[in-house]
Amino acid sequence: MTQSATVDGSLVVRTRAVDLDVESLIDLLPDATPVTWLRRGEGLVGWGVAAMIRTSGPTRFSDADKWWSELLARTEVVDDVNEPGCGPVCFGSFGFADEPGDSVLVLPRVIVGRRGSQSWVTTIGDDEVELRPTSRADAPTISFADGALNGEQWMTVVADAVARIDAGDLEKVVLARDLIATADAPVDVRWPLTRLAESYPMCWTFSVDGMFGATPEMLVRRERGLVTSRVLAGTIRRTGDDNHDLALAAALARSSKDLEEHEYAVRSVAEALEPHCSGMNVPDSPFVLHLPNVMHLATDVAGVVRDAETVSSLQLAESLHPSAAVGGTPTPQAVALISAIEGMDRGRYAGPVGWMDRNGDGEWGIALRSAELEGATVRLFAGCGIVGDSDPEAELAESQAKFVPVRDALGGY
């Protein structure tokens, strides 16, 4: 099913260089319909809706990609900067499962970008835009409660999954849980976005249509013929003691359980990208990615795209989703088990989120360390990779660590 709303007639899109006197692009956002994609102070923000499509079901990616191509066909572009992310840029957030698979792709009326020393603004139509810091209401008071399952119930589900893995039904499954935050007033998403960008600069801070977070995992980046994907699987919680954390990092790098989980995830990404690449680099062993709250085993897979003229970054994201890092191995059996025992609708959690420009280049992360905002209610998500020797209590502790980024950004300690 597809629903769309666009402006009538052709679109006129103008990109020009600007000087920005703000430390964070989030400071420029008004409170209505903000979108963001930021890392280490660089990236894109936008607001307003020039055109939008909502898709669902198994064809949600292809329907959105086709709509974007048709929209570009009636778009006039004046681009004085010519960097990736200039001109018309759509922002998307896609459902994890095929059903219902509710997804969105939006072209903002205003897009502001920063890359190194270069900054620019893209506008749709003839509106003049004044780029200056905006004001915000005070952050509300937040309370937290269990989501679909409490901790004990979720550990029972994990134990069930381990039994199925031990019985040979599958090798790995990623199980998620949710946490419900309730505020005493509507939540202004700019507050948690600012805190996430400050606290997790090495992650990609995103916001699209109420889905927001700071993901450490790049599903796929395509830029001028090169494609990269950052795979994360295998996690350990940090203690705050540097020496102890170094020892934990070394233990993580030797952990057979975590290395096995990571190998599944890397293999699934490499196999999905291979048909689209003329050459690929898949490192033999992972490195340890240090984040403020956790450490992950990480591998960067890279390749040279051979079908860039016909396959967009969004199509590459579709071919990669769901990877073993968010679904499991084998993927069909793992996704079916998630639907059978997880006990909740993931919505757009763990689905692709990111942006794409008129050339099909773009960046699509996985919506992890994320939450869905609606008014005064925020639904937080966290997931863990379950393999044969997973311990339910350890997995519960890992899920609690993964709630920390968004929970702290909302003000809950």
Catalytic residue status for 217: yes
Confidence of residue 180 (pLDDT cuts 50, 70, 90): very high
Catalytic residue status for 66: no
**Which residues does residue 194 pair with via DSSP β-bridges, in sequence order?**
none
**Which residues does residue 143 pair with via DSSP β-bridges, in sequence order?**
182
Candidates 70, 171, 172, 309; catalytic one: 172
Q: What is the pTM of this model?
A: 0.92
Helix, strand, or coil (residue 400): helix
Q: Taking residues 69-87, what's their average pLDDT?
A: 94
Q: List Cβ neighbours of 230 (8 Å cut-off, separation of 6 or more).
A: 216, 217, 218, 298, 299, 300, 301
Tell whether the model's pLDDT for residue 5 goes beyond 50: no
CATH class of the domain defined by 2-409: alpha beta
pLDDT of residue 404: 93
Percent of the chain topping pLDDT 90: 76
How far apart are alpha carbons 379 and 382 in whole angstroms? 10
Q: Taking residues 239-256, what's their average pLDDT?
A: 91
Q: What is the 3-state composition of the chain as percent helix, strand, coil, each rounded to the nearest 5?
A: 30, 35, 35
Candidates 83, 198, 217, 342; catalytic one: 217
How far apart are alpha carbons 317 and 136 in whole angstroms? 35
Tell whether the model's pLDDT for residue 406 goes beyond 80: yes
Q: Please, what is the average pLDDT of the chain?
A: 92
Tell whether the model's pLDDT for residue 219 goes beyond 90: yes
Show me where the domains of the chain are located. 2-409
Helix, strand, or coil (residue 158): helix
Kindly write down the DSSP assignment for every residue of 35-86, as one continuous string: EEEEETTEEEEEES-SEEEEE-STTHHHHHHHHHHHHHHTEEEEESS--TT-
Cβ count near 136 (within 10 Å): 14
